[in-house]
Amino acid sequence: MAVPEDTEPGGTELHPEPIGTPLSCRDVVAEPGALRALRHRLTAWVRAAGIPEDRGQDIVLASYEALANVADHAYGGDGRGLVDLDAVVLPDRVEVVITDHGHWRAPIDDPNPVSLRGRGLLLLRASADHADITGGVDGTVVTLGWNLSPARSY
């Protein structure tokens, strides 16, 4: 019996089909108003996908933190850069990919002993089951993932 091209030996799908409609937002201006609107759009998408509320809150929190980091670090907060967001529900997980086209800016040392800054990546990683951040000359890609219970269908 031949194994279809989209499966590994043993029948595991390499590229499982999305459940529901993926969310794809391109060329969003990285400024507070546009990023807030994108957060609201992601929240509506999470609810429409039937993802449990506590898991949905984690998805929106980590995704918005990644978006805020884009505005702050990739473009220096001047609102001139663009960001893309793609989200999909797969049979076993939710995945959100945030892509900027800027350049990484090293964090500025905060002389305050108790800084209000510098916790964004910790928050991302604490709110997601999987967080991968890859930077390059064309920008940074943040891939966030949340496991879903295999017994549930979303």
Does residue 48 fall inside a structural domain? yes
**Alpha-carbon distance 67 to 34, whole Å?**
10
* Residue 53's CATH number: 3.30.565.10
- pLDDT value at residue 125: 80
Domain holding 142, by residue range, is 23-104+116-147
Question: How many domains are contained in the chain?
Answer: 1
C-alpha atoms less than 13 angstroms from C-alpha of 94 in its C-beta half-sphere: 30
Does residue 153 fall inside a structural domain? no
> What are the tens digits of pLDDT across the range 16-66?
666 789 999 999 998 889 999 999 999 999 999 999 999 999 999 999 999
| Bridge partner list, 154 | none
**Alpha-carbon distance 154 to 20, whole Å?**
8
- pLDDT value at residue 6: 42
> What are the tens digits of pLDDT across the range 95-135?
999 998 887 666 566 666 555 555 666 778 888 999 998 88
Sign of CA dihedral 69, 86, 49, 10: negative
Least confident of 44-48, 72-76, 135-139: 72-76
